[in-house]
Amino acid sequence: MRILGIDPALSITGYGAIEATKNRFLLLEAGIIRTSAKDEQTLRLDKIYSEMMELIADIKPEVIVLEKLFAHYRHPTTAYILGQARGVICLAAQRSKVPMVEYAATRIKKSIIGRGLAAKSQVQKMVQSQLGLTSLPKYTDVTDALALAIAHSYISRTANIVKA
């Protein structure tokens, strides 16, 4: 299964694409979409949308995975801005006719580490191990996106076993 994980944000959106087969993962591509704070917000959102459309066309994922939006009441503006970035990513998925799924951060951590409250460093090391990376990606956004893709592989495999 070809899975594209996305860690959305307005400044740096991380992405990671893997090919998942039984117990093996092949890293296809990973990186970031960076926008400049100097640009107008509409231009930044357009860049995320355009680059997502290109990524989807190049990678041809079977599914796109996002982390569910978590909003803290002390930072409503952050949730608002994040929601806009997520919105253009959802639009790109819909326009490309690629199914999209979302998981809570605790579900991602539980499927990768076995504990929903695992530390970010534990998730990073597990992603590095699962993909056979010699070093961690420069941006944690990329590691988070790859964790989403890997977790979806585990979760969807478990769901298929339960259905059978």
Per-residue pLDDT band at 162 (split at 50, 70, 90): very low
Position with higher pLDDT, 98 vs 67: 98
Q: Out of 19, 29, 46, 67, pick the active-site residue.
A: 67
Q: Which pLDDT band, with edges at 50, 70 and 90, does 163 fall under?
A: very low
Sketch out the chain's domains with CATH numbers. Answer: 2-163 (3.30.420.10)
Minimal CA–CA distance to 58: which of 96, 20, 100, 7?
A: 96
Q: Tell me what pLDDT residue 118 has.
A: 83
Q: The tokens of 34 are what? A: 């960076």
Q: Which helix (H) or strand (E) holds 148?
A: helix 140-163
* Residue scoring higher pLDDT (118 or 76): 118
Set 40, 62, 141, 144: catalytic member: 141
Residue 7 is a catalytic residue: yes
| Residue 56 pLDDT grade (very low, low, confident, very high; cuts 50, 70, 90) | very high
Has residue 98 got a pLDDT over 70? yes
Contact 4, 137 (CB under 8 A): no
Beta bridge partners of 15: 6, 31
**pLDDT confidence of residue 82:** 81
